[in-house]
Amino acid sequence: MTTVRRILHATDFSQASRPAFARALEWAKRGRAALLLVHVLPPVRPVLEDSYIPATMYRDVEAAADRRAEHELGALAARARKAGIRASVMVLHGAPFEQIVRAAQRQRAGLVVIGTHGRTGLSRFVMGSVAERVVTQAGCPVLTVPANASSRTVKAGR
């Protein structure tokens, strides 16, 4: 069995991502792996097609989102470091599944840990599943952790 040296945990800071973070911490601690915490900010889209919104407002919104993401990731990294895990953070921009897959490849992650919201039916069809797309496109194993995960309910992909 190959030893995983770097684990990428992708988070959207929702309740659903918390069990995945806990699982990423477990795996990193058990395997003495570095933990890379990633959050992806999708592009800011105009609210109304017919309205004019100054470019500076878009930049301000993006800057505020970057600051919030860095703050949230910093808090997670601090928790990881307190547990004795080497942790770093990345805020990325673009389509979440694409950026997660690219980051895993560029950072040579041996494992991606990502939470699932558990959407089904129409909401899954409309919203899609970032986790599902990461599982199908990542070049390394992906551990998906359901929002209501207990210590036994985990699915692995790849």
Q: Measure the CA–CA gap between 3 and 120, rounded to whole angstroms.
A: 34
Among residues 59, 158, 44, which one has the least CA distance to residue 112?
Answer: 158
Tokens of 146: 């359901």
What is the predicted pLDDT for the residue at 44?
75
Among residues 78, 82, 85, which one has the least CA distance to residue 31?
Answer: 85
DSSP-based three-state secondary structure for 53: coil
Banded pLDDT at 87 (limits 50, 70, 90): very high
pLDDT digit string, tens, across residues 108-156 = 999 999 998 765 554 444 345 888 899 999 999 999 998 887 544 444 5
Helix, strand, coil percent values for the chain (each to nearest 5)? 45, 20, 35
Q: Which residue has the higher pLDDT, 49 or 133?
A: 133
Indicate if the pLDDT at residue 36 is higher than 80. Answer: yes
Q: Measure the CA–CA gap between 139 and 50, rounded to whole angstroms.
A: 42
Q: Measure the CA–CA gap between 28 and 30, rounded to whole angstroms.
A: 6
pTM: 0.84
Place of tokens 């199908």: 136
Percent over 90 (pLDDT), the chain: 63
Average of pLDDT values for 2-27?
Answer: 93
